Structures are given as C-alpha cells and as structure tokens.
Structure 1
Amino acid sequence: MSDWRPTAEFSALRRRAQLLSSVRALFATRGVLEVETPLLASAPVTDPNIEAITTVAPDGDALMYLQTSPEFAMKRLLAAGSGPIYQICKAFRRGERGRRHNPEFTMLEWYRPGLSMAELMDEVAAIVGLAVGPLSVKHHTYQHVFELHCGLNPHSASLDELKACAHSHMDIHFDTDDRDTWLQLLMSSVIEPALDRESLSFVCDFPSEQAALAKTFVNPGGVELAARFEAFYAGMELANGYNELTDAAELVRRIRQDHSRRTDNDQVLPPIDRHLLKAMASLPACVGVAVGFDRLSMLACKAERIDEVIAFPLERA
C-alpha cells in the first residue's frame, strides 16, 4: 500500500514553493503587508452556498468554526488602520471535494484601500502572470456574457426564459422558482466553459442578489448591480473581487437575508460575527479579492487535478 505517500510530485511542490515566493515578493515591492489571522473563528460566513466545518472551543463550552475565508478578521485589521494587507492561509469548507476542490485548501486574499476595481483587476492579472507568464486579458460584463452565450438579458429575462435556456443546454432533473439558482447554473455550466481559455477573463457587474459583501450601484439603465468581479482562466474560476461593503446596517440586512434562505433550505443558522459588525463603522473604503492558490499552482504546474499540487488531500490526511 502506498496511501501514505504524497499525491503531488516533488517537482510540483517545488514549483508551488517558487510561486509562493514570487507572490510574496510582488506584494513586498507594492508595500502590501503580510498578515496572519486565526484559523478558528467564533462565527463563520452566512452565505447559504458555503458550509463551515465546526469544532469545539478549547474550553469545551461553545462551537467554533474553521474559517472559510480570512475576510472577517482581515477587515477588522483594516478597520484598525492596517493599510493594504494580504494573507496566504488555509481555509476550510464542508463538502467541497472534487477535481478542483479539497475541504482544506489555500487561499490568497488581499485588500487595498484607495485602489479602484480596475486597478485591483490589474493586480490580479499580475498575480496570475506569475503562474502562467505573459497573458492576454479580456473584460466582460455579466450581462454581455449572458447575451453572448445564452441569448438573454440576465437582469430582465423572466423565470420561464431562464428555465427554458437551462433546459436547452443541459439535462435537468429538478425545479425551483429561485431566479438566482438558474442564473448561477447557467453561469457555471454554460458561460464559464465558453470563455476564452487562452485569456484571463474578468466578468463584472453581477446581479445585486449576488452581491455578498460587495457594494451595489445602479447602472445607466436603472438596474441595481453588485460591484464585484470574477476572474477565469483555462476553464477555471480563479478570483472573486469586491468593492467592499462598508455599511453595517446593510451588512445586517444581508445576513438576515442569508438566514432566511438558510431557513428555507433547512440549513443551520450560523452566529453573527459581532466583532465584524462593530468594526464596520471604521472600515475604510477599499477593494478586496480572494484567489484560490491551489488553482494558481495547478496552472503553474499544468495540472488537471488539485491532488497534483497538494501533498496530502482529504483521503490521505
């Protein structure tokens, strides 16, 4: 039996280490401070699409959560006056295992007060370039890619039109009246595979219902949109960036909305991060982005599976 051995070749682990070093050097030249925050959190994200892994607090009296992202703690540092910061750390998400997923994975996340979304996308491109070399970059709006690949306007299409489009592209055996479910299905199953694999593609201006912790704005057509982007390369989603929400009252409203959706789905209702709520009043205007470092490593190593760039995935932990 060889199940004690790593799944990654040492050549891949060396390339991964080189990439880590290059990322740190890039941020050092740009004056971005590397920080560390706890992996154990008193409260996880409330997003219904993300499930945290729970553990017992050291005193045995309460549940704690392995972080799904360092976002909340990093925002507390920003609110305390840290200036631009980044972190390379482990993150954990229940039930995520597959060709590109492992429940324990490495996240690269950074926040830049004073930068624009366009400048943040340029920085993401520079990071991806460390893995793949020179690359072309394309920018799209969410509406444009839907019109191009699905033949409909995602902001005005009816529920029936979204369902019909999804059924025309794939074999579906479920039904729901949740528009967002159909939009996300079309995005992941129809649009993402159709994006240019040889270019870094940024898709921005998502529906406001998918804002998460991003600010929203109203476009010239009167449609409320989320000030966020996702980045794709070689058929993989690599990054998720926001113009960060700084309104505590709006944060509470969105948490309640998440809790309502979780109740409808019979999901556990996680506690609210009270530290983050208190810090929001001091959070500076900033942009932020999370990048899957394992996926960057896959690109650098031309790997097809995440197991090729991590030493011990779930089954060998």
Structure 2
Amino acid sequence: MTRWWDRSVHLDRRPRLLLRNRIVAAIRAWFADRDFVEVDPAALQVSPGNETHLHAFSTEAVAPDGGRMPLHLHTSPEFALKKLLAAGEPRLFALPHVYRNRERGRLHHPEFTMLEWYRAGEPYRAVIEDGIALVRLAAEEAGRSRLEFRGRTCDPQAEPERIAVAEAFARFAGIDLAATMSAIGEPDADALMRCCRAAGIRVAADDTWSDLFSRVLVEKVEPHLGLKRPTILDRYPVEEAALARRTPDDPRFAERFELYVCGIELANGFGELTDPVEQSRRFSAAMDERQRIYGERYPVDEDFLQALAAMPEASGVALGLDRLVMLAVGAERVEDVIWTPVA
C-alpha cells in the first residue's frame, strides 16, 4: 500500500488539500460575518456521547497522586458546546477533530473534522438554511457548479427539496411509518416488520424497530436523496432523535433533519431538547440498548444535564467537513482530503 507521505503521492494529493484549506478559511469567514464565535472544545470528556451505536476511543487520566479517572475522546463536541450556550454564548461554532471507533471506509474515518454550530433563540429553519449556504459556499470556493459522487450529481445552487421522513418512507418504500408508532411515538417493531416484509425488505426475528428503520432508510430512501438538488430529510421519529425536541404539531416526530447531497448524508441538525428529565430518560434507554447489544454502556455527563436546565431554546447542526470537502473537490474518499490519514 502506497503511503500518503510518499513524495509523489503527496504531490498528487496536495491540490485537493490546499482547496480544503481554502474552504475552511471561507467557512470561518462566513461564520465571523454572522457574529458567531469560534470555540475550541476539549476532546477528552467524561462521556463521549450516549447514542446506542456510536463507539468511542477510551483512555484513563492518571493524577499526580495516582488517582485514576476514565475519560473518552468525544464523538461530537455537542455536550461542550451546549454548556457554552448555557453559559450565555448566543452563536458559536467549532471545527474540532472527533473520534469514532469501528468506523472506516469510503465515507468514514476514525478521526475526522466536524463542523458544529448553534444559534440560541433562533428557529430550526435558520440552521437548515445555514447548512444549504455552506454547501454552496464550499462548491463556489472549489469552482464547481455541480457536485458529483459515484455517478450521482447535484446542483448546489438549486432550490433544495424538503421531505419528511414519513413521506420519504411512503414514497420510496411504500411504508406507512406513522402506523408503526403509538400516538406519542412509542415504536411497534412487529408492525414495522410486517411493513418491511410486504415491501420485500429483509428482516430478522430479533430486529428492533430501530434496526428496521435504519435498514429501510439506508436501502430504500437514502439512494434517492440529494440527486440533482440538495435534500433536507426532516421530521424524524422521536425514537430516532434522542437530542431533539418534539415537533409542536405531532409528538410522534422530532425537530431533526439531515442534509443530503449526491446520496451522502452531510449534516445532522436539531431543534435542541432542553428538558433535562426527558434527556436523562432518553440517555438511559439508549444505554440500556447499548448494554443489550454490545455489553457496555457509557457514563452520562451529569454536568451536561444540569446545563440543559440553564440552556436557552436553540437549534444546532453537526456537519462532516471532510465529506463536504470531498464532494466539493471531486475526491472519491474522505481520506483523499485529510492531510494526515490514520495509518
């Protein structure tokens, strides 16, 4: 395998890496022009996050007196940034390296850069508009009028499509998603399993509702998103939106969206949940499921739950910077636009 630091390999990679720098500089300027403050969150955290299927890199801090404390490299800066919202910062963004174990492939890297930003006291639609603007900005900086990936194309300047998850399931898989949930969003795995069988989607006897939801999303829905124009996949079931508040008109769904370009998920955003009791309940449920599947659980950051009580209403987004750059410069893999990939 040719190493990235081989001189000839680096010379081939260098133009795209320099474009990455240009895009990052433009993003920083874009946020500065809108009175956002850039912050630098610590990577070592008490909790790496409490999502069922995210895997952290973990370590241990040893004090001068020999005391030991388990710590984790963050999978997202979310907890730290929301604490800063609670502290009074109204608009902030960060470009930290984040770390996810068990993830490596064309679109995944164990260490990558996440662009995350928040608007306190501003509506959910504002951060959706931010995400679209940043896709357009990256394309402009790279001199591209059209983004392409593996035969799929997207015009970043086109008016984005906005589609609710339930509508997407009906359109692309023939599944009535709302019929597989109770009036308050409790999932019915048997009901979704019957729908999947009818739609010709493979199922296993021990599949949970979330397993089936993810399979339909990946196999039937995502390939249709972000083609010719960006897609905002909106209004996720509350079961799949652990850190988002419920939509005001239907408690089965939450203010969560994902931004797709060329079939690739670029960003994940929320109208943020600020109820510490509800957030604690959701974390406990996720960690119970993690214990069942993987035989482990991550600690809950109690300071984060306390900060939620002081946090204003806010909306926020996490965007995979490497994926955005990859599309903007026409690369095939995220590693092609990372200066020093993990060996």
TM-score range relative to shorter protein = over 0.9
Task: Please list the CA deviations of residues 96-133 of structure 1 after superposition, one character each: whole Å capped at 9, or x if unmatched.
Answer: 10001000000000000122111211111001111224
188, 193, 197: which one aligns with 2:223: 193
The percentage of aligned residue pairs carrying the same residue is 34
Give the TM-score normalised by structure 2: 0.86
1:156 pairs with one of 151, 158, 179: 179
Which residue of the partner structure matches residue 5 of structure 1? 5
Question: For residues 48-86 of structure 1, what are the alpha-carbon distances to aligned partners after superposition, in whole Å with 9 as ceiling and x for unaligned?
Answer: 110111012142612110010000011111101011100
- Amino acid in the other structure paired with 1:228: R
- How far apart are the structure 1 equivalents of 2:90 and 2:100? 28
Cα deviation for residue 268 of structure 1 reads 1.2
* Residue type of the alignment partner of 1:79: A
CA distance in 2, matches of 1:298, 1:111: 24
Deviation track 1:192-222 (CA, whole Å, cap 9, x = no partner) reads 0022422110011111101210001353xx5
Query: Structure 1's 212 and 304: CA in aligned 2 closer, same or farther, altered over 3 A?
Result: same
What residue number does 1:135 align with?
157
Quote the residue 1:176 is aligned against. 206
Residue 264 (structure 1) shift: 1.7
For residues 116-131 of structure 1, what are the structure 2 equivalents within 5 Å? Answer: 116-131=123-138
User: Which of 261, 264, 274 is matched with 1:236 structurally?
Assistant: 264
Tell me whether 1:63 sits opposite 2:75 in the alignment: no
Q: How far apart are 1:33 and its partner, in Å?
A: 0.5
Report the residue type matching 1:21 in the other structure. Answer: A
Q: Which has the higher contact order (CA 8 A, sep 6+)?
A: 1
Which runs of structure 2 are paired with 1:9-88 in the superposition (5 Å)?
A: 9-59=13-63, 61-88=68-95
Are the aligned partners of 1:162 and 1:182 in contact in 2 as well (CA < 8 Å)? no
Secondary structure of the 2:260 match is: strand
Aligned counterparts of 2:224 and 2:4: Cα–Cα separation in 1: 39
CA RMSD of aligned residues (A): 1.8
The whole-number CA distance in structure 1 between the counterparts of 2:226 and 2:51 is 29
> Quick one: distance in 1 between partners of 2:35 and 2:74?
26
The DSSP-based 3-state class of the residue aligned with 1:78 is: helix
For these two proteins, the number of residue pairs brought into alignment is 310
The answer for unaligned runs of 5 or more in structure 2 is: 141-155, 181-190
Q: Would the alpha carbon gap of residues 196 and 76 (structure 1) be closer, same or farther in structure 2, given more than 3 Å must change?
A: closer
Ranges in structure 1 where 5+ consecutive residues have no aligned partner = none
Name the SS for the 1:265 alignment partner: helix
Tell which deviates more after alignment, 126-135 or 179-188.
126-135
Q: Say whether 1:111 aligns with 2:118.
A: yes
Q: Distance in 1 between matches of 2:136 and 2:35?
A: 19
In structure 2, distance between residues paired with 1:16 and 1:108: 13
Q: Which residue of 2 aligns with 1:292?
A: 320
One-letter code of the match for 1:192?
E
CA–CA separation in structure 2 for the residues paired with 1:38 and 1:120: 24
